[in-house]
Amino acid sequence: MPIPFLKMNGLGNDFIVIDARDTGFSPRPDDIRAWGDRASGIGFDQLIAIEGSEIGDAFMRVWNSDGGTVETCGNALRCVGWVLDKDGGDLTIDTLGGTTTARVLEADARTGMVSVDMGKPRLNWEEIPLSEEMDTLRLELQIGPIDAPLYHTPVAVSMGNPHVVFFVDDVMAVDVEKSGSLIEHHPLFPEGVNVEFAQVIDRNTIRMRVWERGSGITKACGTGACATLVAAARRGLTERHGNVIMDGGPLHILWRAADDHVIMTGPVEVEFEGQLDG
């Protein structure tokens, strides 16, 4: 049977979104890779299935374009919130990385602005996770020659999935593919890691580029933007709120002092509708 989907994106980070609440949708990795191929398939960064949940309005399952399952995806959470309810109510969306709350702030037939409470960042080395005990504010990790590293001493943060943030002077000068792929499967990260390169513009603005594990370079990463703001604030480089500008555009991130929850706000868009061969 054909499986209907929406092709959506959040700042260019693009997805196939499938409402699987009344189906037994369970794709094979080979199928995901074929669908995700931008030359011969539909092309996407992640495949998203909306499933039923006993503890919330829905469960969001995420596969990267390489066929592997990951814990969560911030930009996809905004898309799922838009799909579930365009009327502005609070929605509880469960994921493998934890439970979140989404609220649609603006919506029309094809676009929207959505805010997601991503919960508290996880800052302990075991929560990232790392393979050994280490100060997550200043990891003993570098890229390049040992006596003259290109990038070093990043910050590790989990937003339900693992991130490592390198602060750089000029983010546009970074070879994100080369450097990101070196770190993604570093032994320090037993579950792999998303790699962000961030340039602080001012106390409320960060320019960031990202290498996502299992997907490579993407135009935006919602959990990566959250992790980057948290990392910068922990280092004292920024305030606890501001815009994180990625290749696809900005997200507003607030690391709320009252409860330490991270609030991510940004746009979503429907590109087209289609069907997968079941």
- DSSP-assigned beta bridge partners for residue 74: none
SS3 116: strand
How far CA 15 is from CA of 18, 36, 45, 96, 201, in Å, comes to 10, 9, 6, 18, 30
Active site residue 79: no
Contact 45, 212 (CB under 8 A): yes
Determine if residue 222 is labeled as part of a ligand binding site: yes
Determine if residue 212 is labeled as part of a ligand binding site: yes
The one catalytic residue among 91, 155, 198, 221: 221
CA distance 11 to 18: 19
Determine if residue 199 is labeled as part of a ligand binding site: no
Contact 84, 60 (CB under 8 A): no
Determine if residue 243 is labeled as part of a ligand binding site: no
Active site residue 221: yes
Q: DSSP of 124-148, one letter per residue?
A: STTTTT-SS---TTS-S-EES-TTS
| H or E element in which residue 276 lies | strand 262-276
The one catalytic residue among 73, 139, 171, 210: 73
Determine if residue 126 is labeled as part of a ligand binding site: no
* CB contact set of 11 (below 8 Å; sequence gap of 6+): 75, 219, 220, 246, 248, 249, 250, 251, 266, 267
Determine if residue 204 is labeled as part of a ligand binding site: no
Determine if residue 74 is labeled as part of a ligand binding site: yes
Determine if residue 223 is labeled as part of a ligand binding site: yes
Determine if residue 46 is labeled as part of a ligand binding site: yes
* Residue set of the binding site for substrate: 13, 46, 64, 74-75, 161, 194, 212-213, 222-223
* Residue set of the binding site: 13, 46, 64, 74-75, 161, 194, 212-213, 222-223
The residues that are catalytic are: 73, 221
